[in-house]
Amino acid sequence: MISLRDIRKVYLSDNSRVDAIRGVSLEIGEGEICGIIGFSGAGKSTLVRCINLLENPTSGKIFVGNQELTALSPKELREARKNIGMIFQHFNLMQSKTVSKNIAYPLKGSGLSKEQIKKRVSELLELVGLSDKANNYPTQLSGGQKQRVAIARALANNPKVLLCDEATSALDPQTTQSILSLLKDINKKLGLTIVIITHEMHVVKEICDNVAVMENGNIVEHGDLIQIFTKPKVKVTKDFIATIFQENKIYELLEKDYFRNEIRKDEVLAKIVFVGQNTGQAFISKISRKFKIDASILFGNIEIIQNTPIGYLVVKLSGQIENILNVESYLKENNIELEVIKNGTFNSKYTTQCS
Ligand SMILES: Nc1ncnc2c1ncn2[C@@H]1O[C@H](COP(=O)(O)OP(=O)(O)OP(=O)(O)O)[C@@H](O)[C@H]1O
């Protein structure tokens, strides 16, 4: 549905040059909810604004549906943009117009009669659960309600794509949840393709099918949610995932010697990640028996991602070091990931994440 091909965006001013996007290619399928996550300055907003050409890429091609947007005349582009709705962090509503008038605004010049516009607005109000607020002004609404109005307005022309630029960043966690549920609902009901820009992994976790991770103007990792959560490849993705599993907190506790346990010579501190059906396996007792080791669980967490449980454990394995190292390959054969965090014997072989 959306195809970005080698997009570059350079901002030039008198004495500076910013390479905001450095050759990004990305395919987003029809009906998919794709998250684009990255820390501040990674280039997310610039990239999403390129999708509807609010920002003109310096080079590269952009396709939405079968149309190459980068090849259209200004008039054709205006028409093509009706297929792409957009919502923003601060809602961008017109304060002097009622909720109904805000939603009706994009239908101006659409050729619909007054009656047809009224009907469409009332359908949209119902879709976003605001039928009783038709005559209110934006100042009389909560943040979540304002974002609902913005969503209704973005959907007025029946777009195929909805771009969300940090759409929940100004909302509290409960309201965020309700807006994400609404987006998911709309995605299912209307088959809408949704692109979500965020710096919050829990937003991605809640509703995305796929996620692209951005850093320094590049997409450094892209994949489906479960793959990204269980086998992240690059550090920035690992850092985002750590925010969900509270991994950093556990390392802080370990540094403070909270568990009153040093990692001795015959011990290994490891992180184990297991998915779906493996959550029901007694693999801790199996590895204990099979490899004659002790396994103490220092920390554990299970998150449900796309209806799939993903388990995360920090364990201390003690026993003969060869046996401990064999555990890693045994678990791998059983599709369970083990990453050594700290190794009492061969510290230099591994990156020590907690020191
Ligand atoms: N109009 C502009 N002129 C010059 N530089 C810009 C402009 N817009 C963005 N940039 C720069 O491009 C880079 C990417 O910015 P962008 O806003 O896309 O990042 P982001 O990942 O969305 O960050 P944030 O989450 O903080 O909004 C930054 O270095 C930013 O300063």
Asked if residue 159 lies in contact with residue 195, where contact means CB atoms within 8 angstroms, the answer is no
192 CA from centroid of ligand 1 (Å):
27
Residue ranges of the chain that CATH labels 3.40.50.300: 2-231
> Which residue has a Cα nearest atom 5 of ligand 1?
11
User: What does the pLDDT read at residue 110?
Assistant: 82
- Choose one of 10, 14, 15, 44 to mutate for the ligand 1 pocket test, by most ligand atoms within 8 angstroms of C-beta: 44
Task: Give residue 20 CA to ligand 1 midpoint distance, Å.
Answer: 6
Ordered alpha helix ranges (H), 128-234: 143-154, 173-190, 201-207, 225-230
User: Is ipTM strictly over 0.95?
Assistant: yes
Q: What is d(CA 314, CA 298) in angstroms, rounded to the nearest whole number?
A: 6
CA–CA distance, 152 with 282 (Å, rounded to integer): 48
Q: Which of 9, 22, 46 to mutate to test the pocket of ligand 1 (most atoms within 8 A of CB)?
A: 46
Cβ-based neighbour number of residue 213 at 10 Å: 28
- CATH 3.30.70.260 domain position(s) in the chain: 246-349
The pLDDT score that the predictor gives to residue 260 is 56
Q: Ligand 1 centre from 11 Cα, in Å?
A: 9
For the domain spanning 2-231, the CATH number is: 3.40.50.300
DSSP 281: S
CATH number, span 246-349: 3.30.70.260
* pLDDT of res. 346: 52
On the CB side of 74, how many CA atoms lie within 13 Å of its CA?
0
121 alpha carbon – ligand 1 mean position (Å) = 35
From 15, 17, 18, the mutation candidate for ligand 1 (largest count of ligand atoms within 8 A of CB) is 18
Q: What distance in angstroms lies between residue 46's CA and the mean position of ligand 1's atoms?
A: 6
Rounded Cα–Cα distance for residues 167 and 33 (Å): 14
Query: For the residues of 73-86, what is the DSSP string, one character each?
Result: -HHHHHHHGGGEEE
Positions in the chain short of pLDDT 70: 257-262, 277-281, 344-355
Cα–Cα distance between 258 and 340 in angstroms, integer? 19
Distance CA(181)–CA(186), nearest Å, equals 9
Cβ(310)–Cβ(303) below 8 Å? yes
Pocket around ligand 1 at a 6 A CB cut-off: 11, 18, 20, 38, 40-46, 199
* Residue 243 pLDDT: 84
- Using CA positions, which residue lies closest to atom 13 of ligand 1? 20
